[in-house]
Structure 1
Amino acid sequence: MPTDDEVVETAASAAENVVFSRFDKNDVEDIDVTVTFEDGVLEVDVYVNAPESRLDEERVAEDAALAARSAVDDLFEE
């Protein structure tokens, strides 16, 4: 069983990986990944500000949050 810290670190890392796989680091002016895991409940919020990019920041943030949840699911299946 993973610890709460492992869950949070896994989710945050997965979310950041998605963001930076789609945006060049120089295009990202601000990123905020907030992950909480309390009483077995995972909450992931991702905010990305990359105004110079042609990609949809909101969509990438949503994809990053989904990837974070999926990574945590995988962690519990190990």
Structure 2
Amino acid sequence: MTADDSDEPTADEIVEVASDAAEGLILSRYKQSEVTDMDVTVRFEDGTLDVDIYLNAPDDPDPGAVAQEAVEAAESAVDELFE
């Protein structure tokens, strides 16, 4: 069986889905104009998902909590790819 025959998502698909989920959650909590700076970095290597988020936004809601929720949203979105 070649990689093309597999139903498993590719690393690029995983990264895109995770990134979209994280950014979507952040932008659901803040208006885009309220976000001073945002960086979502997603890597998928050797079966391990790594999501790093930097968020500079107003204190309400708490940016740290929103960033953590965004990481969890990214992980959940990737989990759904494998179901």
Q: TM-score, normalised by structure 2?
A: 0.88
- Which residue number in structure 2 is paired with residue 12 of structure 1? 19
Residue-pair matches, total: 76
Q: 1:25 aligns with which of 32, 44, 47?
A: 32
What amino acid is the match of 2:67?
Answer: A
Q: 2:68 aligns with which of 53, 62, 73?
A: 62
Q: Over the residues paired in the alignment, what is the CA RMSD in angstroms?
A: 0.8
Query: Rg bigger for which structure?
Result: 2
1:57 Cα deviation (Å)? Answer: 0.3
Unaligned segments of structure 1, at least 5 residues: none
- Which residue number in structure 1 is paired with residue 55 of structure 2? 48
Unaligned segments of structure 2, at least 5 residues: 1-7
Q: Secondary structure at the match of 2:82?
A: helix
Q: Distance in 2 between matches of 1:38 and 1:50?
A: 30
1:28 Cα deviation (Å)? Answer: 0.1
What amino acid is the match of 2:64?
Answer: E
Q: Distance in 1 between matches of 2:22 and 2:44?
A: 15
1:55 Cα deviation (Å)? Answer: 1.2
